[in-house]
Structure 1
């Protein structure tokens, strides 16, 4: 296990070359430091054990809520109304500990709570958002299906009217938090197009089953959902959600958090590699003195710094109200890809020990491979950018 002194030295050495903290406004830095304390003091001490055991440490949820991190970018209803940049910096600090905890905040806030805040009635907002912000109710966002992760337009889940109610039938897959959620935002095809519904998870016919055998995101929960003639009243429908643009707008909120979050994982891997390079002696001295090792470290730094600056640029655009979906695809595609590359290079510097839980790198590598897939694969975001550049859609 790397010593505390070597880890602190590596962190300081990295910050001496590039320090995100200096680029943040005071309020943004306050949010960042708050998340950093939670990540380092509460998540990091047990994350290797939790990953090994496939355990989601639910007792930490109230602590994240107390820190104001759940739905922090939403205004009102018990939420802080923080800036996009503040939220992004929080995502980076949480994912520096583990992708699963950034995912938790993302599913709760950027997906489930955002869907209610954007498309819900005042009654729905008042019923759910304050309790979700307080961590009293966990939400999930049920869009992806077993046969069409990248093709939500082909969803098979159906909602049909039955008097004053709706009957939902279908299946969803890879739904974060579903087995511990109190409410699910379920998207379904209707005769009028795609619509969203707030489904209390105790409703008859709703079943969420955690997916077993995961080799990534082991400290978080993803589920299969079965909807067997689930009956909900008309008041459960999100009144302002019409068509796929509604869930897509929520996905863009989650993708924004990913753009930032994966740079946290990259930072942790870079710091681990730097600590090892300056503390491990081979052939009569530290391996960091070799040109090949320094080349690796320099390239890792370049991609980390560029990724963080890209995230900051995207956040400033979001705060200014000028951010478009193509730039979110740029951020998600680039930063996940480069974070994976940084993690892989860090693993090579660590040598054989890099594949053990003595270091966090393999855990981050596995998690990042999952992050690469969700909220739009590399291929999907590549084609989004191709469409933006050419005006020609390569997929529907």
Structure 2
């Protein structure tokens, strides 16, 4: 008994007496922590601090806050924004001939360019006091989505000036003089901007750009001026060939100390007219046969005044943080918008085509193999819209969620890629023959562009989502890293000690919760609603606790090495992503009034996400450094073995049939689709044909009844039997004419474009 009292006393003394605690417990732990972590550079710290933590922080910490999510009052389009979409956006799309722009002219018509400039398509984010539209992130996203469903090239052209670029950087950081001069010119289309960040030696590693500027004296407008001598070589710059003003990112140096003691000032952003002496633009790239302007810009020994730095001389060296803050928001608008247009058009058009197109006497959608693809198209169209709304809404609410926008960019572009591939598979030859009537080919060709830009998807998944998530979303790790970066050991230890205790309690709590939910199937987890989604939210809670525990185990075991274990960290990033995507789906469902017609889609998506979470977590346990730890962790998380399965075949069939047979449902989940305003538009023809065939339903019943009574042959469609039905008195002459009109439209849908031998012009069919 005395022995145990002495042990307890020693433990209490160790915990309570500061000098003992720091010498024997927290001090050694802190020392180990400093050693295993890589040094936190200023650039890395700025990147991690860029943006904000939002609902993803709750998911990462094992504490999904459903009340917070469901009560979010997401912004809606204003009357002005809706009017712009209904009028100017629709009018622009009538001016875009995507096939001619992509394959013949390699550019849009002068009328389309003039319309975009005059109507403010390049000024959506510019404040109204400077002549811009000051549209919301949601409006920006909706407009780009809608345009992209008509033409990806046009979507990119509108997207770029309204995301990361001079307009946004000036609005946030520009001096009053810069704003007053440049923003009105950008707003009225006098100037077209581009922003040059990527170069031959620096793509995703934007922090490693070799382009330089040196503070020096030079001549400007005939006077000796303090300025910057620039050298740069940039590529992949959208709008560069037609830009009149160039935003430029470079590393700034001050070897002679003209600005102060700091020689290496850091990444800086400047704004330069493209007609300034020494600036080279105009050369084009050809990005996968797309028509949007993309090219190079170079400059050698170009001298600019110091006040051309965006924000003025006081913002010298602050370019990296400026870029990270703007990109963290812009990434959640532009590429997700393109992906939404792609995924929804793929679902809308493929559903109609697979209804009209027949094989073996059946519509394509009646085959189970096709149904599987159609179900995924339905789910993808619904999910991209849900994520688009939630992510753009977060930005409009003042958030700059860097992790959420990375999730949105990666997963929405991947969902779009999956959708267009499915659409191409089901469409078969219709999809691969280029021509004005092919509504899929341009989307298919453009897909790698979305995958590549604003952070290549491999980098985004393997480094950014969990890399930033582990430090920004974890309630304690970033503060612990800041403490570890303190040059003075005692100062750092003082900051580290209270965090350590909280972190330990946090980890133990998640371990107990994860194990408890594993044993009980999460049946006792809190659920915000006792409805059809109760079990979904309980299972999301379970996976959230599992993620929090696995993240702590990974950081404890691997420390800084985790940064290089990209396949391992990517799996944890996948879990965080699926939790966010599922939360977006539930939010979207309830925001729309919880329509019963959408419940099956929600079930499909949540079931699929939970299954992906389990696969990712089991992969993590299998590949973590210590096999024993991995095995124990797997048993803790999944004590009864596998917990989740992919969606059932019956659910896939239900989604496919609803997409193809229920026009109201199909249109409700694909609101971004441009349906066409002319009878020569391929998407308009699809819808006209579908309507005409639907209107044949009473005649189809007559023909089938006649087939049963052997008045008509047993085999054959209404189109094949029309003449025989007329002769047999089953239908009237007017009925036959109606069938003929529908058949003409049907054949327009099924047929593909034909060209003359030189492929210079199409042949009328």
TM-score w.r.t. length of structure 2: 0.46
User: CA deviation digits over 1:224-274, x for unaligned, max 9?
Assistant: 211111121122111246131112233334322211221112222222212
Matches of 1:234 and 1:58, distance apart in 2: 38
What's 2:424 paired with?
347
What's 1:74 paired with?
126
Question: Quick check: 1:390 aligned with 2:470?
Answer: yes
Match of 1:119 among 164, 173, 183: 173
Aligned partners of 2:85 and 2:143 also within 8 Å? yes
What's 1:224 paired with?
296
The 1:385/1:214 distance shift into structure 2, 3 A limit, reads: closer
User: CA deviation digits over 1:348-371, x for unaligned, max 9?
Assistant: 111012112231212101212111
Q: Structure 2 unaligned segments of length 5 or more: list them.
A: 1-74, 218-225, 254-264, 472-559, 565-765
User: CA deviation digits over 1:129-181, x for unaligned, max 9?
Assistant: 11211122101100111111101111111111221121110201101111111
How far is 1:213 from its partner? 4.5
- Higher RCO (CA 8 Å, separation ≥ 6 residues): 1
Match of 2:182 among 123, 128, 132: 128
Name the structure with the higher strand share.
1
Matches of 2:397 and 2:421, distance apart in 1: 35
The 1:26/1:166 distance shift into structure 2, 3 A limit, reads: closer
Matches of 2:432 and 2:100, distance apart in 1: 15
User: CA deviation digits over 1:179-216, x for unaligned, max 9?
Assistant: 11110001110121111111111122211243445324
Aligned partners of 1:205 and 1:228 also within 8 Å? yes
What's 1:250 paired with?
326
Question: Quick check: 1:38 aligned with 2:91?
Answer: yes
Aligned residues: 370
The 1:210/1:369 distance shift into structure 2, 3 A limit, reads: same
What's 2:274 paired with?
201
Aligned partners of 2:153 and 2:291 also within 8 Å? yes
What does residue range 285-324 of structure 1 map to in structure 2 within 5 Å?
A: 285-324=362-401
How far is 1:292 from its partner? 1.9
Matches of 2:232 and 2:125, distance apart in 1: 32
User: CA deviation digits over 1:87-122, x for unaligned, max 9?
Assistant: 111111111122222222222222221122122211
What's 2:287 paired with?
214
What's 2:246 paired with?
184
How far is 1:54 from its partner? 5.6
Matches of 1:99 and 1:322, distance apart in 2: 28
Matches of 1:184 and 1:268, distance apart in 2: 34
SS at match of 2:301: strand
The 1:26/1:177 distance shift into structure 2, 3 A limit, reads: closer
Matches of 1:394 and 1:247, distance apart in 2: 22
What does residue range 147-158 of structure 1 map to in structure 2 within 5 Å?
A: 147-158=201-212
Question: Quick check: 1:175 aligned with 2:256?
Answer: no
Matches of 2:119 and 2:334, distance apart in 1: 18
Aligned-residue CA RMSD in angstroms?
A: 2.0
What's 1:47 paired with?
98
How far is 1:39 from its partner? 4.6
User: CA deviation digits over 1:16-64, x for unaligned, max 9?
Assistant: xxxxxxx954535334334540353122xx1111111362216223312
SS at match of 1:296: helix
Deviates more, 1:366-375 or 1:72-81: 72-81
SS at match of 2:291: coil
The 1:359/1:84 distance shift into structure 2, 3 A limit, reads: same
What's 1:366 paired with?
445
Aligned partners of 1:184 and 1:198 also within 8 Å? yes
Task: Find the structure with the greater CA-based Rg.
Answer: 2
